[in-house]
């Protein structure tokens, strides 16, 4: 792992883009808004650009703070939810996971426990008696080391120490954010451990293809390449079943708007207060990067495609936003005005032997690739 980091650092400079041209101007957040020290480590804001994309990222939780993309007329909007200064992330009364990496175990673990070789490990539990997205601290609340950065790429590293939030093993994680000329935002993960553990890391940007604060997502047209889901109970913990989506509001193999069936009478929709479920992707290979989902915003023409080498995708339709907090531009972050598309393995897999394993042992390497591709139609 350390040799890998040295290789990256040797081939990457520390040049940052400061501006972007286009029919509308990218409004960069001042870097000073994020320039603080916490727990003896520096927090910063970094600007990346490639193709027609401009992205700002902070190393606090490796969060995507802004992501500017053009619409069909070439007008630019920031299409991820976030805040304009670090204080709002550090003392956040609203949605915790805006733009962040989540883990070391993304999604939910029932009861906040997992068993490894006969030993029970206990993680912090929320009000529902489960561990969500890593625990009280999680990868979203730590300051990542910036190993290297250039115009279009930033490389992060974090050593998740043995016992943090109850997880066994020193988990050494390398994560790369890269923009490219194909207007893709690519996220790559590597992780190794010195003790057997469970790892399932994901990215948690909230997208609104109209632009942050510019309306709901219910008219967005969704496709998900999946013929099954993992149903959940009323606490959003998987039951262990693998359910066929045929004839249900969860069948997005053909295009449907998000709002078309979100309000129908359905136990699963009631449990999630809308869509907040894990889709089992219809994959052609065991580990290739393949199409997972797409979202089309018909008003402005923005089109987002998701590709991954993971077996599943969590689609969340912004059901728990309440409009009580404001985003970067003074707009309220409201109910169903964003979506999250989290590539992953299945939630709560330590408790379900029929789910793909998330176990990671010494000598093994966890890898994960997620690609968000932006275009217009």
Please give the torsion angle defined by the CA atoms of residues 161, 162, 167 and 168, in that order, rounded to the nearest 10 degrees: 140
Please give the torsion angle defined by the CA atoms of residues 7, 8, 13 and 19, in that order, rounded to the nearest 10 degrees: 170
CB contact at 8 A, 335 and 324: no
d(CA 372, CA 314): 14
Known catalytic membership, residue 119: no
Tell me whether residue 7 is exposed, middle or buried, using C-beta atoms within 10 angstroms of its C-beta: 0 to 12, 13 to 18, 19 or more: exposed
158 contact partners, CB below 8 Å, separation of at least 6: 139, 142, 144, 145, 173, 175
Which H or E run contains 87?
helix 86-90
d(CA 334, CA 7): 43
- Out of 204, 228, 277, 368, which one is annotated catalytic? 204
Report DSSP state, residue 209: T
Question: Residue 352 CB: number of other CB atoms within 10 A?
Answer: 17
Known catalytic membership, residue 204: yes
Of 236, 226, 251, 266, the C-alpha closest to 347 is: 236
- Out of 95, 297, 342, 368, which one is annotated catalytic? 342
d(CA 79, CA 115): 40
Question: Residue 157 CB: number of other CB atoms within 10 A?
Answer: 20
Question: Over 143-163, what HEC string results?
Answer: ECEEEEECCCEEEEEEEECCC
Active site residues: 204, 342
């Amino acid at each position: 792992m350390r040799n890998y980091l040295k290789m990256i650092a040797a081939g990457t400079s520390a040049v940052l883009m400061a501006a972007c041209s286009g029919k509308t101007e990218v409004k960069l957040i001042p870097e000073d808004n994020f320039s603080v020290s916490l727990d003896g480590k520096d927090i910063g804001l970094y600007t990346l650009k490639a193709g027609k994309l401009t992205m700002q990222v902070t190393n606090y939780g490796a969060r995507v703070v802004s992501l500017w993309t053009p619409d069909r007329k070439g007008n630019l909007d920031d299409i991820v939810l976030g805040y304009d200064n670090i204080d709002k992330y550090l003392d956040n009364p609203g949605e915790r996971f805006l733009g962040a990496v989540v883990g070391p175990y993304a999604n939910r673990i029932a009861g906040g426990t997992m068993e490894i070789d006969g030993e029970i490990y206990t993680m912090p539990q929320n009000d529902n008696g489960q561990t969500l997205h890593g625990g009280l601290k999680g990868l979203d609340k730590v300051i990542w080391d910036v190993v290297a950065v250039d115009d279009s790429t930033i490389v992060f590293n974090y050593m998740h120490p043995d016992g943090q939030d109850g997880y066994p093993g020193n988990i050494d994680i390398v994560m790369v954010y890269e923009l490219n000329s194909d207007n893709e935002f690519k996220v790559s993960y590597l992780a190794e451990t010195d003790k057997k553990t469970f790892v399932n890391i994901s990215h948690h940007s909230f997208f609104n293809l109209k632009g942050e604060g510019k309306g709901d997502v219910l008219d967005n047209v969704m496709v998900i390449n999946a013929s099954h889901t993992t149903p959940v109970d009323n606490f959003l913990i998987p039951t262990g079943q693998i359910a066929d989506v045929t004839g249900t509001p969860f069948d997005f193999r053909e295009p449907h708007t998000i709002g078309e069936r979100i309000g129908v009478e359905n136990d699963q929709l009631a449990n999630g207060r809308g869509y907040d479920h894990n889709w089992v992707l219809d994959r052609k290979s065991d580990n290739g990067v393949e199409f997972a989902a797409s979202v089309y915003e018909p008003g402005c023409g923005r089109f987002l495609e998701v590709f991954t080498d993971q077996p599943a995708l969590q689609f969340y339709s912004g059901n728990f936003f309440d409009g009580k907090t404001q985003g970067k531009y003074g707009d309220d972050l409201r109910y169903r005005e964003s979506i999250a598309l989290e590539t992953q393995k299945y939630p709560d897999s330590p408790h379900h032997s029929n789910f793909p394993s998330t176990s990671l042992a010494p000598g093994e390497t966890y890898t994960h690739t997620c690609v968000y591709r932006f275009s217009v139609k």
